[in-house]
Structure 1
């Protein structure tokens, strides 16, 4: 049987995490094929309240030093053994019964096991794979699927970008499961309180990390294409990626976004335009918020 690994970094949310674990236990058809890898900061004593023994679940706790979201997911992946890898947040509730059977039925249709599948989170829905699902083989081919440089966001966007590039080259391996609900209980939807974990996140902290990883995403796409075409796989290493600070002036920011997005012909024009517009808006929003904070 196909084994599924759920990677879940968590901090200071034992009640929310217990809610997720309960929903997994209630809605999974074959719990024996599920493993849960939790990344918990070593200074977070709230993990003692996690009711892992109350559920018939295989749970491994990684209690380690505080790290970025990318590093947490990478550590969880290295400890996992599943054929299918799912990136989750703790503020999720699984709503679909037998979701694991639906998922494995989908993955069994893909001979080379190169795919990006994602459920309906009732927030971003089809627009973004908030909770990306990859095969272990895909993760290994990408070599650095969850870059440690990402502090708290953009990992799903990084993966989506790679698979949009792949689709643009004629290999559509993206599958959205509208009927599989992993509900994102986010505070922006008034489904949760704005707790300290949310407050600690720098909303714009990973924007220029995503920009800096453009070349890596191009290389990773080529790696997947080689694998699909059954060509030799290269041992690419991704080092010395320089992540620049946000440009001080709008002209420099626009130039950077144009170079990395609009001028990137390995992406479809509509997606290039979206990335350019999206990052311009976020850059301006960050500047406005900073100005307001400085003058408050």
Structure 2
């Protein structure tokens, strides 16, 4: 069965950027028919209810003023894909065949419990900015994310559950450095250069929430470990709980090597270029063939010339 991916995109007041994002996703995806875009739109923002000729776009209309956690949750509830990815409207997909690469790395695991993230050109491998997980994971977690998050730490929350799972011996975070989803949300810092732009006031609200939800993420990691293992054992669970009890802060488990880095094969761009060239050649052949057929049909439709007859 061919798996499908839902892109959950809360958006407000940026239809031009939204259309650019949709165009880039459609232009770079090898299988756009396996994608679903769920736009979460405020009721007072009808201009954001855009569509796309090559993508299945779903609209979820909500009351204005909801938190980002609630918006993502509404998008998830309306989605139908086997996998879901949280995305922003100010993103440009740059990598041809990114969807094939994502589905390919998901097939490496014997079960649907993995976190995949791409290169956003800002946070890169330091933080999973656009998390992609399975619906099975969301069902185990009780949703895509807690609705209480105002704007930030949602990606952190999902990644941290998998970081805790890694502490229990299961590395399930995949980073794709060659899959570029360029993020516009940046400012020029005088010393650090181009950095992620955040609102300190909102961040101050979400940071304590993130810390307070650590016990909940530990319980989720325990459930994930048990499901992956396929059995429950009181002795093993006791050892797992003791291991997680030693984790006092989420940043303690953000260690180098926690991610599985999968590079794009060197030969793939060559194969893609050859495939594109083949498509162009076949298209030209079809056009030439259709032109020849039209010429023959036109000639057969004319009256035959006989000796003594002449064209009028």
**Where has structure 1 moved over 3 Å in runs of 4 or more?**
198-201
User: 1:168, 1:266 within 8 Å by CA — same for their partners in 2?
Assistant: no
What is the TM-score normalised by the length of structure 2? 0.70
Q: Give the equivalent residue in structure 2 for 1:265.
A: 246
Paired residue secondary structure (1:56): coil
Whole-Å Cα distance in 1 between the matches of residues 177 and 88 of structure 2?
19
User: Gaps (5+ residues) in structure 1?
Assistant: 233-262, 276-296
Task: For 1:1-296, list aligned pairs within 5 A.
Answer: 1-48=2-49, 50=50, 52-53=51-52, 55-66=53-64, 67-188=66-187, 202-231=202-231, 265-266=246-247, 271-272=251-252
User: 1:152, 1:201 within 8 Å by CA — same for their partners in 2?
Assistant: no
1:273–1:28 Cα change, 3 Å? closer
1:136 CA displacement: 1.1
Paired residue secondary structure (1:105): helix
Paired residue secondary structure (1:205): helix
1:105 CA displacement: 0.6
1:199–1:143 Cα change, 3 Å? closer
Paired residue secondary structure (1:180): strand
1:264 CA displacement: 5.3
Whole-Å Cα distance in 2 between the matches of residues 62 and 201 of structure 1?
28
User: 2:163, 2:254 within 8 Å by CA — same for their partners in 1?
Assistant: no
User: 1:264, 1:272 within 8 Å by CA — same for their partners in 2?
Assistant: no
Whole-Å Cα distance in 1 between the matches of residues 188 and 67 of structure 2?
25
Whole-Å Cα distance in 2 between the matches of residues 137 and 273 of structure 1?
24
Whole-Å Cα distance in 2 between the matches of residues 171 and 231 of structure 1?
15
Larger Rg: 2
1:19 CA displacement: 0.7
Once the two structures are superposed, what CA deviation does each residue of 1:241-268 show, in whole Å capped at 9, x if it has no partner?
xxxxxxxxxxxxxxxxxxxxxx95136x
1:140 CA displacement: 1.1
What is the TM-score normalised by the length of structure 1? 0.74
User: 1:28, 1:99 within 8 Å by CA — same for their partners in 2?
Assistant: yes
Aligned residues: 237
1:169 CA displacement: 0.9
Whole-Å Cα distance in 1 between the matches of residues 90 and 144 of structure 2?
22
1:103 CA displacement: 0.6
User: 1:118, 1:130 within 8 Å by CA — same for their partners in 2?
Assistant: yes
Alpha-carbon RMSD across the aligned residues, in angstroms, is 2.6
1:144 CA displacement: 3.4
User: Gaps (5+ residues) in structure 2?
Assistant: 233-243, 256-312
